[in-house]
Amino acid sequence: MTDRKATLTIDGETPIELPILKGTRGQDVIDIGALGSHGYFTYDPSFTATASCQSDITYIDGEKGILLHRGYPIEVLADKSDYIETCYLLLEGALPTAEQKATFEHTIKYHTMVNRSIEHFISGFRYDAHPMAMLCGLVGAMSSFYHDSLDITDQEHRTISAHRLIAKMPTIAAMCYKHFIGQPFVYPDNTLSYSENFLHMMFGTPCEKYECHPALAKAMDRIFLLHADHEQNASTSTVRMAGSSGANPFACIAAGIAALWGPAHGGANEAVLSMLDEIGHEDNIEEYIAKAKDKNDPFRLMGFGHRVYKNHDPRATVMRQTCDEVLEVLGVQNDPLFRLAKKLEVIALEDEYFISKKLYPNVDFYSGIILKAMGIPEEMFTVIFATGRTVGWISHWNEMITHPYRIARPRQLYTGADVRDYTPMDER
């Protein structure tokens, strides 16, 4: 907070003073909450210049390529922490002690099972239903199975719901995958880590135990961690807006999943694979680079540049290293698709056109390649994104609920017809 004020001057009217608020880092914001009482609203389509809330969770500086979770750089967390510890950090606001982490991990492990009726629920979806369609429906339906802790005013209920969501999302995500490919569900194994358990449920079968390579478990853990939260993006804002009505946490997370499903948000790594398929072979790269540079050509390089990060995506550096490790472990470095991807990466990092426009490979470029190499179909990419992002969504929801809030109610600039007389049917 500061004592600074902004003065809005409108011809012929008394100047309006608006408080200027200052956060820990980032841009100061002008508090326009009282502007409506003066007969004016602001106009900001997509809210790209509007601070919709006050938050202590995540900070992004797109110009400098900075991403902090509770003050910790994402690169540090990816190197020294793991997904479960990061979950605790986002939820609780501080890194856990050894005892706190052990207790938290134990709690998450022993919430991984889902109600048996959910198996019947998912069996009702068509055999070829998109996994995101199933995930959205299943998470929304969880409130009917876990209605014992839906009092959003009760801190214990909120905590239990948060733990259930973090624990059960991998189970539900894997069930969506199994239904999608026509295999029986695989139950969680609480002797495994979070990421190992997810891969076990994805690739295990009743007739053969899945042996998870440590590098693949580490890669999946990093994918979850690097997608855990990303400030007030479309899906997180959706969760907050749904939560402002007093909706239960499962409904709010389902709303976030629905927003994430959009190709402009959670489908970016899927778009990377589609682009690579379109290019087809590394011999065609030069042609497609020329198309990408042509403003009149609809072709766009997917997985390069970022709407928020104008310098570099801090998550991409970590993901690039992980990508190389996974390709080496799986022995697919010479697969034509991955050779194409790596050559495209080199060009983007060295070509003056891409450098000048800061079209660097982002986290989606590398995560798409990793998931493809692991044998995960593109239809599951956004489901995995949602699984990792659940902790961010529930952290923001909980933060909003524990502070004074009102139901979200954006305003509009009305451009429709003015008052009109009704014309009877026989006179039209």
Largest CA distance in the chain: 80
- Residues 265 and 237: beta-carbon distance below 8 Å: no
Enter the DSSP assignment of 188.
Answer: -
Question: Under DSSP, is residue 407 helix (H, G, I), strand (E, B) or coil?
Answer: coil
Structure-block tokens of residue 77: 């967390």
Helices (H), 331-380: 336-350, 352-356, 363-373
Query: Helical H runs in 233-284?
Result: 234-243, 249-260, 268-279
Measured distance CA(423)–CA(428) in Å, rounded: 7
Q: Which residues are catalytic?
A: 265, 306, 364
Q: CA–CA separation, 273 vs 27, rounded Å?
A: 36
Look up residue 262 and give its two tokens.
């959009």
From the list 179, 175, 204, the residue with the least C-alpha distance to 189 is 204
| Dihedrals phi, psi of 182, to nearest 5 degrees | 80, 25
Distance, in Å, from the CA atom of 283 to the CA atom of 9, rounded to the nearest integer, reads 60
